Structure 1
Amino acid sequence: MMEPMEVDHPVRTSLSARCVYQLRLFFVALQFFTRIPIPRWVGFDERWLQHASRYFPAVGIVVALVCALVYVLASLFWNQSVAVLLSMGAGIYLTGAFHEDGFADTCDGFGGGVTEERVLEIMKDSRIGAYGAIGIGLMLALKWMTLASLPSPSVVVALLIVHPFSRLAAISLVWRMNYAKANGKAKPIGQEMSNGEFCIAGATALLPMVLLGLTEWMSWEAIAAGVLLATIASLWLARMFQRRIGGYTGDCLGAVQQVAEVTFYLGILAALAY
């Protein structure tokens, strides 16, 4: 008689058992990266985070849907600038400023540290410094201005495309790089990521992009421009991380997500303006 499937090591049993396992991994990722409560039956084991990283872009779709809904509702009562700001606030609250905090810590660490040890020490400090405050302020202002400058229908489309893709950019560091320190908040998802898991993440991130492109809600030129800028920015950051600290940390993942997000918006805006 076939043994029951282990929750932390899926085997080829029934289709329903495999689907339940994948659903559990999605909910674990959702719990880790957002404030959204998950069903009690999911449970939690830190080892599941190792495999739940494949659903990081799927979490981005959930965040994008919430941000888009807030934007649409706010647009009924206020102008676009206010609606965009409220949408951004909803996203920050939903994720607990998880990625913004990582970006600020990365600015502090790489801005104020010279040696690898000093960079990691600064990034570990929960206090925000001048580099972090200035960096996150400029990042949020640029994101707000860029989205507010897009045509109103394009804002919703951009959110649905960019949130999952920017998280794919972040998780690519887990796939191709080594974790830079022995302990940290990203260690459970930073030990390894198989090619198959990255393919699942990639397919999830590209699905909204392909669907919205095929339905002509956004031009392929705008999508390509966003992908190009976000990819260049992510590769530049990955190279800097590798050179300065020999890998990445959880804060580095947040920084890549934020930079990939805003550069994608910039690419869309440039293409639409042209």
Structure 2
Amino acid sequence: MDEIKAFILSFQFMTRIPINIQIDADRNDFHRIVKYFPLVGGFIGAVASFMFFVSKNIFPREIAVTVAVASSYILTGAMHIDGFADTFDGLFSNRSRDRMLEIMRDSRLGTNGVLALVFLIILKILFLTDIKSNLIYSTLILMPLVGRFSIILAAYVSKSARGGEGLGGLIIGKISMVELILSLLFTSVIGIYFVHFTALLKLLAVSSIVTYIITKYISMRIGGMTGDTLGAVNEFAELVIAVSMYLMSAIKL
């Protein structure tokens, strides 16, 4: 698979954008697309920012922020937040490891998942609403940008809980150090346009630490990571960025 095909496939895999190009990908080479995930995240953030810009002159800021957040989920087919909800349903079911994995596969949404999903969206909207106006666009772009890098980091430091099965098994434990570094480079090159270098380092450090802790906790509970738990990592990282940007703007860290 050449790099242009890998780049296109990353958009096809991570979004619901109708790119009508047929690309044959070998399962063993699929991990090569991950380095482009941050570019996809930056694009999603740009769309969310545009939706906020369009909405803010028509509706109150709270509604404009809600439109921006909703647009990011529509663009991705809600794939990551669905995994976030499934992860909470499984981990907090107080069942055996195998049963938790079965619950995550279940398309039905349980109470734990619903509550986690509701609180996540509320917190995102509240923090984005209270962030200073000059930082809202930067935050909307940095959230999915760093969130997609966090998926790569989590997949790099873990193994598959399902023995390589499922979508997560395509990349979990298969990412090379070079691919991790390239994804970090893409994240940094885009991020530096929206916050100064020191702030970006802080954001990446905090989100990476949180990602590592969550990944190790999940791995301890179910023996590894899955596609659902990678989605959960993305959502946690996005929330961490929203909270961090709020704190940095409020207390000038």
Q: TM-score, normalised by structure 1?
A: 0.86
Question: What percent identity do the matched residue pairs reach?
Answer: 27
- Asked whether the 8 Å contact 2:154–2:212 carries over to 1, the reply is no
Q: Residue 251 of structure 1 corresponds to which residue in structure 2?
A: 228
Q: What is the alpha-carbon distance in structure 1 between the residues aligned to residue 214 and residue 96 of structure 2?
A: 17
2:25 matched to which residue of 1? 45
1:93 corresponding residue in structure 2: 74
State the match for 2:119 in structure 1: 138
Give the Cα separation in 2 of the matches to 1:155 and 1:224: 19
Matching residue's letter, 1:210: I
Residues 98-139 of structure 1, C-alpha deviation per residue, up to 9 Å, x if partnerless? 000000000000010432111111111110000000000000
Range 23-32 or range 49-58, more displaced: 49-58
- 1:84-163 matches, cutoff 5 A: 84-163=65-144
Name 2:188's counterpart in structure 1.
Answer: 206
Separation (CA, whole Å) in 2 of partners of 1:23 and 1:68 = 26
Aligned mate of 2:162, from 171, 181, 201: 181
Which of 1 and 2 has greater Rg? 1
User: Larger deviation: 174-183 or 229-238?
Assistant: 229-238
Aligned 8 A contact 2:156 2:180 in 1: yes
Match of 2:238 in 1: 261
Q: Which residue identity does 2:25 align to in structure 1?
A: D
| Cα distance in 2 between the residues matched to 1:117 and 1:24 | 36
Structure 2 CA distance for aligned equivalents of residues 273 and 179 of structure 1: 39
SS of the counterpart of 2:243?
helix
Moved more, 47-56 or 57-66: 47-56
Q: Distance in 2 between matches of 1:209 and 1:43?
A: 29
Q: In the alignment, residue 193 of structure 2 is paired with which amino acid?
A: L
| Residue ranges of structure 1 left out of the alignment (5+ in a row) | 1-6, 8-20
Please identify, of 185-194 and 261-270, the stretch whose mean Cα deviation from structure 2 is larger.
185-194
CA-CA distance at 1:268 after TM superposition:
1.2
Q: CA deviation at 1:46?
A: 4.6
| Number of residue pairs the alignment of both structures matches | 249
Look up the equivalent residue of 2:24 and give its one-letter code: F
One-letter amino acid of the counterpart of residue 232, structure 2 = A
Decide which of 220, 235, 238 is 2:212's aligned counterpart. 235
Give the CA deviation at 1:39.
Answer: 4.5
- Contact 1:225–1:264 at 8 Å: present in 2 too? no
Tell me which moved more, 260-269 or 94-103: 260-269
Maintained 8 Å contact 2:153/2:208 = no
**TM-score of the superposed pair, with normalisation by structure 2:** 0.92
What's the CA shift for 1:162?
2.4
Structure 2, unmatched stretches of 5+, are none
Residue 270 of structure 1 corresponds to which residue in structure 2?
247
The 8 Å contact of residues 28 and 44 in structure 1, kept in 2 or not, is answered as no
1:28 is matched with which residue? 9
State the Cα deviation string for residues 229-261 of structure 1 (Å, max 9, x = none): 423321221111121112100001000000011
RMSD: 1.7
**Whose relative contact order is higher, 1 or 2, with alpha carbons under 8 Å and at least 6 apart?**
2
